[in-house]
């Protein structure tokens, strides 16, 4: 599978939840964004560790010069919205890639029929700076019907450690704990 090397693919995310559409440029243009992708809302590792840890480290990650943190999954917006409510997510933005187009163009769409999931995203995380991929962490073993579901490098701790290692000097004012995303679900 080919992974997008230089920039995020140009797609339109159609949201039937709020009847809005947003392009990749709308979401990533002019911003430095952390995006992490996972196999599905309400799944065990995604719900117990992956999403909750990014929410927990939200302000620490933002303090490293990140404008927004996005969780992407090949689910519909209704599922992502309900999952966000169930997980009590206040800061991380949930982005539904309902058709899987973004995930496919990233080279991360995998068939998970062997576990009854169908087409899903492989786990990865990345820093996107004005639509350009600055750094990407892809879990090992990327393939259809993988017998493993690794969770080693797309986690929040790895991302935070990477961001700290590149030496960003935080602004004098870090995001306050009162800052919240008005609508935590794009799609």
Q: What residue segments make up the domains of the chain, in order of their start?
A: 12-165
Mean pLDDT lowest among 33-42, 56-65, 166-175 = 166-175
Q: What is the pLDDT of residue 2?
A: 55
**Mean predicted confidence (pLDDT) in 66-76:** 96
Reported as a pLDDT band with limits 50, 70 and 90, residue 29 is: very high
Give the chain's end-to-end CA distance (angstroms, integer).
26
CA-to-CA distance for 5 and 18, rounded, in angstroms? 32
**Mean predicted confidence (pLDDT) in 115-129:** 93
Check 46, 57, 71, 110 and give the catalytic one: 46
Reported as a pLDDT band with limits 50, 70 and 90, residue 51 is: very high
**Mean predicted confidence (pLDDT) in 75-100:** 94
Mean pLDDT lowest among 34-48, 61-75, 142-156, 160-174 = 160-174
pLDDT greater than 60 at residue 185: no
Q: Domain 12-165: what homologous superfamily?
A: Glutaredoxin (3.40.30.10)
pLDDT greater than 60 at residue 175: no
Q: What is the pLDDT of residue 173?
A: 47
Is 131 annotated as catalytic?
A: no
């Amino acid at each position: 599978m080919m992974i997008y090397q230089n920039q995020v693919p140009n797609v339109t995310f159609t949201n039937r939840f709020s009847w809005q559409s947003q392009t990749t440029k709308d979401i990533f243009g002019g911003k430095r964004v952390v995006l992490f992708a996972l196999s599905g809302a309400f799944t065990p590792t995604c719900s117990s560790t992956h999403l909750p840890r990014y929410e927990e480290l939200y302000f620490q990650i933002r303090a490293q010069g990140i404008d927004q943190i996005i969780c992407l999954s090949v689910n519909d917006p209704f599922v992502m919205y309900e999952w966000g409510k169930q997980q009590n997510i206040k800061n991380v933005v949930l982005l539904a890639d309902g058709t899987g187009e973004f995930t496919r163009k990233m080279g991360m769409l995998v068939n998970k029929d062997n576990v009854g999931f169908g087409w899903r995203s492989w786990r990865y995380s990345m820093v996107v700076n004005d639509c350009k991929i600055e750094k990407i962490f892809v879990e090992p073993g990327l393939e259809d019907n993988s017998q493993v579901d690794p969770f080693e490098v797309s986690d929040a701790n790895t991302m935070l450690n990477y961001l700290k290692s590149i030496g960003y000097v935080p602004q004098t004012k870090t995001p306050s704990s009162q800052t919240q995303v008005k609508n935590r679900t794009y799609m």
